[in-house]
Amino acid sequence: MEENKMLKKANLDWNARQLCRLVQKKEIKFDNAVQRGLVWDAQRKSLLIHSMLSGYPIPPFYAVKDGGCYDMLDGKQRINAVVDFMEGKFELEGIPEVEAENEDGSTDMADINTLYFDEMEESLRDELSAYAFTVYYFENATDEETAEMFFRLNNGKALSAIELTRVKAKSMDAIQELGKHDLFRSALTEKAFERYTNEDIVIKSYAVLHEKEPSLETKYIRPYMAEVELTEEDQVQLMEIYDRILAVHGLVEDKKAARRILTRTHLVSIVPVVWQSIEEGRTEKEFAGWVSAFFAGKKSASISSVYNDCAGSGSAKKDAVRKRLDETAKHYGAFFHADAKAV
């Protein structure tokens, strides 16, 4: 960020009804690379609705204004909860009673658990719809300033290691695009996507391809990715590697071995030899033969005790990563050298 540059901040209020309309019109977006995935369950969403009806404080939202749109830096979980409830997507659960106004002006305590928005008393629906949220927004913010604001807003909150890494990553757009590869849909659960495991694999794939002594520990990866810029050639290379892994996964007959190459540690560990197989003109079937042979361990993942010892606790450390890469390269070379001799 430029030194001594003062960020220009303004504020406005949106009521809950406006919030829904702005989301529907796509004037509120969550597109910036630093946004978190949706992680709130129905109980946490319900508690927010209770806070709105009971007068508990709710923090303001923060956004970057771009033309007529607001790209949210903060508040994604809360906005999603309000919109989902008002659109009838979940019922309330696990919250205390709220005060509801009767037609004669008197009030009673009401249990709103198990109710959808349309099932609540009209007075409560009106109160919820009119609830005003404060929004602070910034105009003309650079991508770097946007990332820095997100980092500072969330500093002290329980962000995961990969979330903090992606905030600082210089090539976040490219990493996100690579993370959409079909390989990750086959390899990962929806929960893993919410935790950005796909993007974590992309970052580490790049590191093992381009660093002589890669460490995959967060304390090394985060500053590394803040400086690295993925070129178009780098992106094509990783796409080809992921294409091959996905194809080979379908060719490996041993289902246990096939599952193993889709786990994070093993997938990242084979990236260099996958690229080697492409450069050498090996067919997908030939490479699937090596995968079947190497990941044929009975009690452990592979037939290499050295590899297995480095694939458990501490697997991100430089020494463990180096040994895994050396073992895959050694066994790959021996496998195809033996084939060449046989011919």
Task: Find, among 77, 75, 107, 114, the residue nearest to 93 by Cα.
Answer: 114
pLDDT at 39: 83
**Residue 103 three-state SS:** coil
Under DSSP, the state recorded for 310 is T
* Cβ neighbour number for residue 301 with a 10 Å cutoff: 22
Residues whose CB is less than 8 angstroms from the CB of residue 268 and which lie 6 or more positions away in sequence, other chains included = 201, 204, 205, 208, 216
Supply the DSSP string of 218-282, one letter for each residue: HHHHHHHHHH----HHHHHHHHHHHHHHHHHHHH---HHHHHHTTSHHHHHHHHHHHHHHHHTT-
User: Each residue of 189-239: pLDDT tens digit?
Assistant: 988 888 889 999 999 999 999 999 999 998 888 888 888 899 999 999 999
Task: Find, among 168, 16, 149, the residue nearest to 81 by Cα.
Answer: 16
Residues of the chain short of pLDDT 50, as ranges, are 1-2, 342-343
d(CA 302, CA 285): 19
pLDDT at 32: 63
Q: Are strands 61-66 and 132-139 parallel, antiparallel or unpaired?
A: parallel
Say if CB 328 and CB 301 are below 8 A apart.
no
**Residue 205 three-state SS:** helix
User: Each residue of 136-168: pLDDT tens digit?
Assistant: 999 988 777 877 787 778 665 555 677 767 766
d(CA 25, CA 48): 23
**Residue 98 three-state SS:** strand
Say if CB 257 and CB 263 are below 8 A apart.
no
pLDDT at 155: 65
pLDDT at 3: 52
pLDDT at 34: 59
Inter-axis angle of helices 218-227 and 161-168, to 10 degrees? 20
Task: Find, among 38, 117, 41, the residue nearest to 77 by Cα.
Answer: 38
- The residue ranges of every structural domain in the chain are 9-154, 161-342
